């Protein structure tokens, strides 16, 4: 059985990218990889702070930027205040709630491997195609239904 790319050995990933697999990097990556919320740096910092009191927000922020540069994690969603990240590097789709900004993974074969139309080359070179489903999540629609009553 082949391992999904999302669960590859982090130490190996670091080595391949010329990064030292430090304890802090490992914890930051794990926190991101184990979350399905596509958290931003602040959220990851808050979660790790308890078990790693020496960790600073700045380190988390910079580490995620380095991971992104190296292609170890991907930016997820466009948030007004903070960049959010995704450790799943295999092709998948996102459901995005336009009310609360929730991002959940969706894997739908029909939307994988899509090609950009030729006309796009006039605008720029396409590196990847991502499908995003936008709508209102369960929680937000429940809230809205309650408010109407
Ligand atoms: Zn929502
Ligand atoms: Zn994702």
CATH number, position 29: 1.10.10.10
Mean pLDDT score of the chain: 88
Task: Output the pLDDT for position 87.
Answer: 92
Residue bearing the bigger pLDDT, 6 or 148 = 148
Domain count, the chain: 2
> Average pLDDT, stretch 92-106?
91
Which residue range forms the structural domain that includes residue 45?
5-86
Cα-to-centroid distance, 133 and ligand 1 (Å): 13
Task: Output the pLDDT for position 11.
Answer: 87
Same domain, 9 and 81: yes
Same domain, 68 and 135: no
Cα-to-centroid distance, 38 and ligand 1 (Å): 14
Same domain, 57 and 120: no
Closest ligand, as measured to the CA of 100: 1
CA distance 88 to 86: 5
CA distance 149 to 138: 17
Q: Residues 6 or more apart from 113 whose CB is under 8 A from it?
A: 91
Same domain, 133 and 63: no
Kindly state the tokens that stand for 20.
Answer: 């030292």
Question: Given pLDDT bands bounded at 50, 70 and 90, which one contains residue 127?
Answer: confident
Per-residue pLDDT tens digits for 8-36: 588 888 989 999 999 999 999 999 999 98
Q: Is the pTM of this model over 0.85?
A: no
- Residue corresponding to tokens 């994988």: 112
Task: Output the pLDDT for position 62.
Answer: 96
Residues near ion ligand 2 (CB < 5 Å) are: 86, 88, 105
DSSP for residue 80: S
Closest ligand, as measured to the CA of 105: 2
Cα-to-centroid distance, 23 and ligand 1 (Å): 34
Residue ranges in 1-149 assigned as alpha helix (H)? 10-16, 23-34, 41-49, 57-70, 138-148
Cα-to-centroid distance, 47 and ligand 2 (Å): 19
Cα-to-centroid distance, 81 and ligand 1 (Å): 17
Cα-to-centroid distance, 42 and ligand 2 (Å): 18
């Amino acid at each position: 059985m082949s391992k999904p790319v999302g669960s590859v050995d982090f130490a190996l990933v670091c080595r391949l990218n010329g990064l030292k697999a430090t304890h802090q990097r490992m914890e930051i990556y794990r926190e991101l990889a184990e979350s399905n919320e596509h958290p931003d740096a602040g959220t990851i910092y808050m979660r790790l702070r308890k078990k790693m009191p020496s960790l600073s927000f700045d380190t988390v922020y910079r580490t995620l930027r380095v991971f992104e540069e190296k292609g170890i994690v991907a930016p997820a969603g466009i948030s007004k205040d903070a960049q959010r990240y995704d450790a799943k590097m295999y092709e998948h789709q996102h459901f995005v709630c336009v009310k609360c900004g929730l991002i959940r993974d969706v894997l739908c074969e029909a939307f994988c491997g899509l090609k950009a139309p030729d006309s796009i080359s006039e605008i720029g070179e396409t590196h990847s195609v991502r499908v995003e489903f936008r709508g209102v999540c369960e929680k937000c629609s429940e809230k809205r239904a309650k408010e109407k009553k």
